[in-house]
Chain A
Amino acid sequence: MSSNQSNTQNGSEQKEKVSESVQTSLSKKTETITLEFESSIVNHLVTRFTDKVVQVVYVRPGRTKILVPPNEIVQVATFLKDTLKFDHAESVSGTDYPKDNQIEVIYHLSSYSDEKLSSHVLALSTRVDRNDSRMPTLIDVFKSTEYHERETFEMLGVYFEGHPRNERFLLPEDWADIPPLRKEFRIKGR
């Protein structure tokens, strides 16, 4: 709570920042109606955590994306679940960026229990080092990530610490190659 109060002033400044950084391709009418809600979610996050922890990537109608460091992701996810009522993950995916030497892991979160949120998908993303790709699992916060994380583990080689089974799921049992969704894995003949 104490960190909450100390950050309120900070938060109001960031509120303006966020509304400035809004990108959208839709008409202006829908922009003003819908984006208030999206910005309020983001502002809530930035107020609770500092902008060092939560970086806002974009705010669009129905879609927001934030980037957090891997060691803070459990804390942010718990806040998203308990306070902002995001209750399940629709998908967990990873994107390989060899140029930055990083892998981005993205959780697309949404809500069934809060009707206002049902049209909203929040992308909670984090970036891990490509050579030592490990991050804490979110299975204790969002049970629905269980198989998605297993898939990300085998497809991109991201080790989820605390996940009960970092094991093969879709790939064949005798798969003896690098994780196939990494960019250096090439389809034969291509």
Chain B
Amino acid sequence: MENLDEKFNETIKMGLEIVKETEEDRLMTLSVGPQHPGSGHFRFTIKVDGDYIVYCDPDPGYVHRGEEKMCEYRNYIQNIPHLERPVIHDSTNITYSYSLAVEELTNIQVPLRGQYIRALASELNRQVYTLYWLGIYGIFLGHSTMFMWPLGDRELFIDLLEALTGARVTHAFNIPGGVRNDMPEGFKDRCLRQVAYFEKRLVEYEDIFYNNPLFRQRTEGVGILTKEDAIKLGVTGSVLRASGIPFDVRKAEPYDIYNEIDFKVQYMKTGDSFARSMVPFLDMRESCQIIRTLLDKMPQSGEVRAKLQPNPKGPAGESYKRVESGRGALGYYIVSDGTPKPYRVKLSVGSFRNILALPYLLIGSKLADMPSIYWSLNYWPVEADR
């Protein structure tokens, strides 16, 4: 009888051990993306404990095209069109710092009017990018008006850029030595008119979206990135400025004619999703003012680009240049070995730097807050993957 009892107890014990819930059993693993409509071409794995995210592992690379390797096979001018591909909505800015770096390597001086026009194009393009991002941010928080409006108003700037560069989205407008062509006739008036209209629209954006109590509930106090952590993680752009650090490359290290333009660096101190979505909006408003100043101060006539040799090359050396793009500092590190083709090109893009903050912000927050945190990081997967 005792033997049987023992056996019975053992069986019960074994059974209990099988059923016993471990810490791991409580967790559910979710794979977000790359086909998920809310992540773009990007995948990250998260583990949830009930409603809360306890683990997050980003897995980018679904749109990796080897831009850096491709650069080594083409000369400095041939590289321009394919370098736009990582972020076609901000194609002027991604070729801007490339042009600056090549100009330093090959010692090209840009004419003043050329500098003004490319600064103007980069401001207009930043608006295009930010509006596109705002549209996506709106729709993933369930605010479909905020999808329609920015995408509609984005057409204004696309039309302007089409008149200026000849292409709607991928302009290939910046080249080492200036810009491809001069402004068309009557561009200034058209630009001023549309910027004035857009500024009125921005007030409406604020009313319908930023002052919306539902939007505020979903973003205020969500995913707080403190100032210290923002510095430690090395984030950039609107993510950095939302955490209370007024850093903008246009101010910190003015390139071209930005030291003559008077503007304020927009920043907020709370570091939550709301601040991260508000800072690009404030940037748009400031950018309207910059566009006006640029048009005002621009020399009325003159060359827009320096004459280049057929295959520009410079002495062996290296250059690191950065500009402020829609997603923050965008740096190019180019090594030249004295031939017309770069020896090594490295893109340091804002998206790749900001993604380090994603696991940091997601862990500990609710699953429902994931879209508002993820999209507030101003992340463009194609740019991060390069």
Contacts and interface: CB of A to CB of B under 8 A. Distances in A.
Interface of A: 25, 62-63, 65, 87-91, 93, 95-96, 106, 108, 112-113, 118-119, 121, 123, 142-144, 146-148, 151, 155, 168-172, 180-181, 185, 187, 190
Contacts of A185: 69
Contacts of A172: 61, 64
A119 B331 contact: no
Rank and list the top 8 A-B pairs by shortest CB-CB distance, nearest first.
Answer: A144-B234, A91-B348, A88-B234, A93-B346, A170-B61, A119-B253, A118-B252, A170-B64
A62 B101 CA distance: 14
B61 A95 contact: no
Interface string B121-162: 000000000000000000000000000000000000000000
B356 interface: yes
B343 interface: yes
Interface string B32-62: 0000000000000000000000000000110
B64 A91 contact: no
11 contacts: A88-B234, A106-B333, A108-B348, A119-B253, A144-B233, A169-B60, A170-B61, A170-B386, A171-B61, A180-B66, A187-B66
A171 B64 CA distance: 7
Contacts of B230: 112
Contacts of B233: 88, 143-144
B231 A87 contact: yes
A131 to B, nearest CB: 20
B274 interface: no
Nearest to B68: A181
Given A87-B234, A108-B348, A112-B247, 17 more contacts: A90-B236, A90-B322, A93-B333, A95-B335, A112-B230, A112-B231, A112-B240, A121-B320, A144-B232, A146-B356, A147-B355, A151-B352, A169-B61, A170-B60, A180-B66, A180-B69, A181-B69
B383 interface: no
Interface in B299-325: 318, 320, 322
A89 B234 contact: yes
B363 to A, nearest CB: 15
B320 A63 contact: yes
B73 to A, nearest CB: 6
B73 A142 contact: no
B230 to A, nearest CB: 8
Most buried by B among A88, A113, A187: A88
A187 B70 contact: yes
B242 to A, nearest CB: 13
Nearest to B335: A95
Contacts of A95: 335, 343-344
B254 to A, nearest CB: 9
Contact of B234 (A121, A143, A181, A187): A143
Nearest to B58: A147
Interface string B227-260: 0001111101000100001010000110000000
Contacts of B240: 112
B351 to A, nearest CB: 11
B286 interface: no
B61 A91 contact: no
A185 to B, nearest CB: 8
Contacts of B288: none
B353 interface: yes
B329 interface: yes
Given A90-B234, A93-B346, A181-B69, A144 B353 contact: yes
Interface string B56-92: 0000110010101110010000000000000000000
B283 interface: no
Nearest to B229: A143
A91 B318 CA distance: 15
B107 interface: yes
Contacts of B329: 90
Given A90-B329, A91-B331, A95-B335, A147 B352 contact: yes
A185 B69 CA distance: 9
A31 B73 CA distance: 35
A168 to B, nearest CB: 8
B245 A112 contact: yes
Contacts of A63: 320
B272 interface: no
B104 interface: yes
A181 B346 CA distance: 11
Contacts of B73: 187, 190
B234 A142 contact: yes
Most buried by A among B107, B335, B344, B346: B346
Contacts of A119: 252-253
Contacts of B69: 180-181, 185, 187
A63 B348 CA distance: 16
